[in-house]
Chains A and B, each alone.
Chain A
Amino acid sequence: MIAHADLEAELPYLQRYALAQLRDRDAANDIVQETVLAALESGDSFSGKSSLRTWLTSILRFKLIDRLRRKGKEVLFESLEDETDDSDFDGLFSKDGHWQDKIKAWSGPEESLMSRQFWEVFERCSEVMPRRTAMAFVMREVMGLEIAEICNNLDVTATNCSVLLYRARMSLRECFEIRWTGEAKA
């Protein structure tokens, strides 16, 4: 049996996790509720080998993937053209395609630290990302789905899918860089 108090203590984490991916508070709360109910119903299958958080997250993940599969195509509003153009990174490169500035090593991050702070940075950074770009990143890097499935869910070609992921990675890398080198660039 899982103690309800332990479960309750994990709610803020689960809400944040779901919110970071869905960016819709109601939808996030709904899916967390489903997760908690599923956890309570199958409490016997929690072996205690993994932490409660890890176990709950795996249920939530499963539900999020399922939701992305079902809803992927419905939630795409922006024109794809805006999202598959990478000219907004022009400033990073010189005319002949070299990096404009030296790429500095990230000083701070132990990897474990980075995964803990991942959501915080992602939430802030993804607010300014086009929706499909953020979704492609979540499906690929957070959920670990294969590229073919992501293209299919987002209804884009493999080439466009690569561009979406490239854009998302470039943006996030910059967000982490600002954090880890303490040098914000305009």
Chain B
Amino acid sequence: MKINCRQASRLISQGLDQPLNQWQYVRLRVHLWMCGNCRQFSHQLQVLQQSARKAGRGE
């Protein structure tokens, strides 16, 4: 069963907070292989997290 972008976007966010389970992880991986939009989205959430952490440290 494949997931759609909306479901993928939730898993991408969740994966920044805790390890995904095997089911989630595999489906997200496969979706990301296929979907440039979600790869971009995932990258942006990471950039957002990094810049928030940096801002939090006063850098």
Contacts and interface: CB of A to CB of B under 8 A. Distances in A.
A147 B17 contact: yes
A167 B51 CA distance: 18
Interface residues of B, number: 31
Contacts, number: 108
* Residue among B4, B14, B51, B53 having the largest count of chain A Cβ atoms under 10 Å: B51
A165 interface: yes
A99 to B, nearest CB: 5
Contact of A169 (B18, B45, B59): B45
Interface string A119-139: 100100000000000000100
Contacts of B5: 93, 97-99
Contacts of B53: 141-142, 144
Interface residues of A, number: 46
Interface of B: 4-7, 9-10, 13-14, 16-18, 36-38, 40-41, 44-45, 47-59
Interface stretch (A36-44, A51-59, A67-75): A51-59
A144 B54 CA distance: 10
Given A114-B51, A118-B51, A162-B17, A97 B58 contact: no
Interface of A: 13, 17, 51, 53-54, 56-58, 61, 86, 89, 93, 96-99, 102-106, 109, 111-112, 114-116, 118-119, 122, 137, 140-144, 147, 162, 165-166, 169-170, 172-173, 176-177
